[in-house]
Amino acid sequence: MPDAPGLELIRGEIEADHPAAVLDTGFEHGCASLAIAPEHALAVLTWLRDSPGHEYRFLSSLHAADYLPAEPRFAVHYELLNRDRVERIRVKALLDDPASSAGGGVGGTAPEDALATGGGGGSPAPTGPADDGMVLPEIDSCVSLFPTAEFQEREVFDFFGIVFRGHPNLTRILMPDDYVGWPQRRDFPIGGEPVTFTYSEQRYD
């Protein structure tokens, strides 16, 4: 992986082509990390994949995190590999929760709008009902850059309610199509049946 000076050099090169794209750099669990603005996600991923001397061409994982109560609340993590150098870099796109701001926030999708438009980009409508009145965070799909992201983006949508604009088939992948809500969000009710503990009057010898 890049060391600290190398990571700052990567940041500088990206910002030369895409100003304000990189918000922060750091090392998380021993991995070099770039925190980026979500509107620059495709530009940064394309740069890391195609720029000579970098060429992170393999997306090993795409997943999300809910940092509630922190802001920005959500992040989409892209784990990129350069397999020739056996080198890894993490890109973390930070997403605000549009449902927490008045009027749904910028870029938020109300459930009925998401179901009607597919979250933009002409992609098929996401399936699976959301909570009434909820608006969903959005980010551009990277399936055109990394085809293996197709199912991983569906899983993030399924569990976190993050809409990937331009995804070819943004439907639930593990939960039932009629499932309501996003079960890996930190404010999702756990549910389950209460267990009553009692003392038995019968003794067993």
Please indicate, yes or no, if residue 203 is contained in any of the structural domains.
no
Cβ-contact 173, 179 below 8 angstroms:
no
Please indicate, yes or no, if residue 10 is contained in any of the structural domains.
yes
Domain shared by 82 and 144, yes or no: no
Helix axes 4-17, 41-50, angle to 10 degrees: 120
For 162-182, the pLDDT digits (tens) are 999 999 999 999 999 999 999
Give me the residue label for tokens 């199509």. 177
- Total domains in the chain come to 2
Please indicate, yes or no, if residue 12 is contained in any of the structural domains.
yes
What is the rounded CA–CA span in Å between residue 3 and residue 110? 42
For 10-31, the pLDDT digits (tens) are 999 999 999 999 999 999 888 9
For 39-85, the pLDDT digits (tens) are 999 999 999 999 999 999 999 999 999 999 999 999 999 999 999 99
Q: Tell me, what CATH number does 17's domain have?
A: 3.30.460.80
What is the rounded CA–CA span in Å between residue 97 and residue 72? 7
Which has the closest alpha carbon to 170: 204, 136, 198? Answer: 136
Which has the closest alpha carbon to 164: 183, 134, 143, 185? Answer: 143
- The answer to whether the predicted template modeling score (pTM) of the entire model surpasses 0.85 is no
Q: Which of 32-41, 49-58, 123-132, 194-203 has the lowest mean pLDDT?
A: 123-132
Domain shared by 1 and 87, yes or no: yes
Q: Which domain covers residue 123, as residue numbers?
A: 100-185
